[in-house]
Amino acid sequence: MKKIIVGTCIRQDNKILMVQEAKQKVYGKWNFPAGHLEDNEDIFDGAIRETKEETGYDVKLTGALPIINYIDGDADILRVTFIAEIVGGSLTFNKDELLDIKWIPINEIKQMTNIELRAYPCNMDILQSIEAGISYPLEIFKNIITNINE
């Protein structure tokens, strides 16, 4: 099964906004705000929607991080994480889906283990890219809407 995961990395004052998962499979683990791209959903809209659903914040996407492809059990996942900045909203979350949301210093995230951090190799790679200043312009994505039968 193939899945596309979209999310954001929001950084302020050398801290990153992280969400703590409540799902049984990943209970208690920290993650960047992210989720599944819905059918017929624009990749940018999906990342903005997921961030709003998980954090309560409205965000503006400002760049893209390296795209990661990985296998998780029987799922082949393509993960697209955007750099984002908060432009509105307020910090809120669904307590059925998340345990907590907080700004975590980058050094604390770097000290987390795979027990504390969801998708550990992927999230550590995202963190390394952030620290190294690796990002790409949003223009690397082209959204072409068409009917394949045209």
Task: With a cut of 80, say whether residue 149 has pLDDT above it.
Answer: no
CATH of domain 2-140: 3.90.79.10
Residues 6+ apart with CB under 8 A from 21: 27, 28, 29, 30, 31, 97, 98, 99, 118
* pLDDT tier for residue 72 given thresholds of 50, 70 and 90: confident
**Per residue in 9-23, pLDDT tens?**
999 999 999 999 999
Cα distance between residue 127 and residue 143, in whole Å:
27
CA distances from 13 to 10, 58, 88, 103 (A): 10, 19, 18, 9
Distance CA 26, CA 10 (A): 21
DSSP string, 39-61: TT--HHHHHHHHHHHHHSEEEEE
SS3 for 67?
coil
Is the Cα dihedral 103, 107, 110, 115 positive or negative? negative
Q: 84-102: per-residue pLDDT in tens?
A: 999 999 999 999 999 999 9
Phi, psi dihedrals of residue 86, rounded to the nearest 5° = -75, 130
Is the pTM above the cut of 0.85? yes
In which band, very low, low, confident or very high, does the pLDDT at 31 lie, cut at 50, 70 and 90?
Answer: very high
